[in-house]
Amino acid sequence: MLTGIVLENAADMAACFPELWPTREAAKKDGQRKGTNGYYRDLYNNRMSPSSAEVTYRPEGAGHRARTARVDLCRIPDPEAWLTNRLGPLASIEMRSIAGSGSDAPDPAAAARLDTLASRLTASMQAVLAARRAAFEALSARLDAAKPAALRRTHHPQPEEETEA
């Protein structure tokens, strides 16, 4: 949602956002959760943005059916180009404004506020992760120090770097 688009097709979700859903199955499982979590009900509805639009598209090729996505036109003013860049050529695309979504014109100020909020949220989560990592490292050092000398390791492997979500 923070990128400005919510895709409904699991294969497209995995293709466009592999850092969130490495496989179609992971995206499909996440999609199944949205029926049980109020979180999804609030985020995936027409209150996504005052400039939301629903896009129906179909990738080129045999066997592809029409799919839908909700797009924030402030963040992605050209949904056709965005989808084509990530999924390849499209056989068809149709866009319509969502009733009650506010104005048809994208609001650059709203997009800037959303960018600021996303940056603050990312920084906050990184700070929480750093604090938890430091607490775990301190606990590990205390536990290591409490071991009998014969069981102590002389070398502690460094944890691998985490990627940003």
Q: What residue segments make up the domains of the chain, in order of their start? A: 5-103, 109-151
Encoding tokens for residue 163? 């990627």
8 A C-beta contact, residue 53 and residue 95: yes
Mean pLDDT score of the chain: 80
Token couple for 145: 């120090």
Look at residue 44 in the predicted model and tell me its pLDDT.
47
List own/partner pairs for 99-105 with CB under 8 A and 24 or more apart: 99/46, 100/46, 101/46, 101/49, 101/50, 101/51, 101/52, 101/53, 102/50, 102/51, 103/50, 103/51, 104/51, 105/51
**pLDDT for res 135:** 94
Q: What is the value of pTM for the model shown?
A: 0.54
Nearest to residue 68, comparing CAs of 30, 36, 31?
31
Q: pLDDT band at 29, cuts 50/70/90?
A: confident
pLDDT of residue 38: 44
Predicted confidence (pLDDT) at residue 100 exceeds the cutoff of 60: no
